[in-house]
Chains A and B, each alone.
Chain A
């Protein structure tokens, strides 16, 4: 580790420690907002780990998330919660692996389309299974888990995402993905297994999304397919990550905080207009900030640096 890396790691650790104290200071609305931000941070950062370097837009987050929530709902009365968290992560990872095996060899369009309908597909299957096998659509998730504990779990997941993301960027795998994102032909000709590298990252992001769904499940109390598999979630995650910037590990966080707050405000006051907000956010990202806020800031700094040098 270089000196700079040691300093960053220390700073992240301190920040996490401070954040961990948050539930003692606030509760109610602010705590639930903090839970939202922590949740989207994990989802958007793990999404960016895969989609950032590869440019594959995944809309499967809601499918993994819903699946994770359902694993908890189905097993909460028989299996210890901690085990369920692990199972939910595995479920997300396995589905990601299956989807990836079918689509990642092909062009990005096929992948987007496939993931676009994935949440709906899983929802239809879960609904059908419930209607035909268990008789009722919804399930209760009654646990002793409080909002505070959910926040801490999410914070731990966030730490895990950042750690894994940091390890990946330093590894051969991370370097391979950057090359793949630049030119797949060159990647193949320097000996990189593109499909396997992409798959590995997609499985990581699926595992995280599944685990987050399981962590959030106790908060729902009552789970039914249309709540657990809300397709909006996938789009929110994409917007937040792109808004912040996907070429830096901490980029998505910059998008998550303002967008989560904005979303809360809009959803609270004009609940029917969240769709319009999604649309405007997408257009804004494509036309005005294609490299995210972080990219904007970095190029501004670079420009300033250059003018200082020359000035």
Chain B
């Protein structure tokens, strides 16, 4: 039972990160391997607000979200769109964007190491127990979960109930056809990439309330987000949420039943199963 609840709490926060990458990969078609670094940058923002300004870490959303949005907008506009333009086919764009975003990821880590140094950073916020079904859980984890659920809900509504959301989903399904019905595909891609970056950075804020991080931990979260997105099916929001919960549960189960050092192995086992049996995602239709 404890495992179940901890797993769900963790999984819900993962879904926020996965949402960010889904927007970037599903809509803008960029496999952003610098995703985790954006998350760490967001976490740094929260850490800074909490330790120096003595404010709730969640207030950092006020500058982290717009900051990440603008930064990702610039990255897509000036670094990635040239790659989209010069690519002759999807495979070429894939290779180029993988290498370019790796470069950005390492550059970010390098810059963060310069600015903040290599130490672990952690702070204690709402570090008190609450009882759920009689067992104690960290209040910060519960709050993080609720915030993630609220944000995911908001995004889901936005994607399904607004004009822009509709346009984004159209680009995700078929960029060429979306262009034919007068959707500005490059603009929508840029917007999706920027929005995805902002969501990821906010995910970093949420995670930082209960996880210890350092400048070079981003890659771990990139891996997790990638596994979730592939497991859920590329561009599939519902699939991503369920995949997040599965990953959260699997990691928690392995950590508490076998060894906390094997959480990545757990994630990998899931990944492998998906690749072998459902490479099109949990709810994906098999393409012929």
Contact = CB atoms under 8 A, between A and B. Distances in A.
Answer yes or no: A and B touching, Cβ < 8 Å: yes
Interface of A: 55, 57, 102-103, 105-110, 112-114, 116-117, 120-121, 124-125, 127-128, 131-132, 231, 235, 242, 272-273, 275-287, 290
A286 to B, nearest CB: 5
Contacts, number: 119
A276 B110 contact: yes
* Closest 9 pairs between A and B when the two form their complex, measured CB to CB: A276-B110, A282-B103, A279-B106, A279-B107, A283-B103, A278-B106, A275-B110, A286-B100, A275-B109
Most buried by B among A55, A273, A281, A287: A287
Contacts of A127: 261
A128 B262 contact: yes
Nearest to A99: B272
A285 B99 contact: yes
A275 B268 contact: no
Contacts of B33: 116
Contacts of A102: 272, 275-276
B275 A103 contact: yes
Interface in B219-269: 219, 223, 226-227, 230, 259, 261-262, 264-265, 267-268
Nearest to A101: B276
Given A108-B95, A242-B99, 15 more contacts: A110-B279, A114-B271, A116-B33, A116-B219, A124-B261, A128-B265, A131-B261, A273-B113, A275-B110, A276-B111, A279-B107, A280-B106, A282-B103, A283-B107, A285-B103
Contacts of A282: 99-100, 102-103, 106
Interface in B53-110: 79, 82-83, 91-92, 94-96, 98-100, 102-110
In terms of DSSP, what is the predominant structure of the interface of chain B? helix
Contacts of A116: 33, 219, 223
Contacts of B223: 113, 116-117, 120
A171 B118 CA distance: 49
A272 B118 contact: yes
Nearest to B267: A117
B106 A275 contact: yes
B103 A280 contact: yes
Contacts of B31: 109, 112
Given A102-B275, A128-B259, A279-B107, A286 B264 contact: no
A283 B33 CA distance: 13
Classify chain B: how many residues form its interface, as a range.
Answer: 35 or more
Contacts of A273: 110, 113-114
A121 B268 contact: yes
A277 B268 CA distance: 29
B110 A114 contact: no
Contact of B275 (A106, A125, A276, A277): A106
Contact of B264 (A124, A231, A284, A290): A124
A102 B276 CA distance: 6
9 contacts: A55-B91, A103-B275, A107-B94, A117-B264, A128-B261, A273-B114, A278-B106, A279-B108, A284-B103
Contacts of A120: 223, 264
A110 B106 contact: no
Contacts of B259: 128, 131-132
A110 B275 contact: yes
Contacts of A277: 110
B204 to A, nearest CB: 19
Interface string B192-232: 00000000000000000000000010010001001100100
Contacts of A285: 99, 103
Given A280-B107, A283-B100, A286-B100, A113 B230 contact: yes
B256 to A, nearest CB: 15
A286 B83 contact: yes
A124 B95 contact: no
Contact of A279 (B105, B219, B275, B279): B105
Interface in B21-37: 31, 33
A57 B91 contact: no
Nearest to B263: A124
Contacts of A290: 96
A106 B230 CA distance: 12
Residue with the highest number of chain B CB atoms closer than 10 Å, among A110, A235, A273: A110
A110 B230 contact: yes
Given A110-B230, A113-B230, A276 B107 contact: yes
A286 B261 contact: no
Contacts of A278: 103, 106, 110
Nearest to B105: A279
Contacts of B104: 279, 283
A102 B261 CA distance: 24
B276 A279 contact: no
Contacts of A105: 279
A275 B216 contact: yes
A113 B226 contact: yes
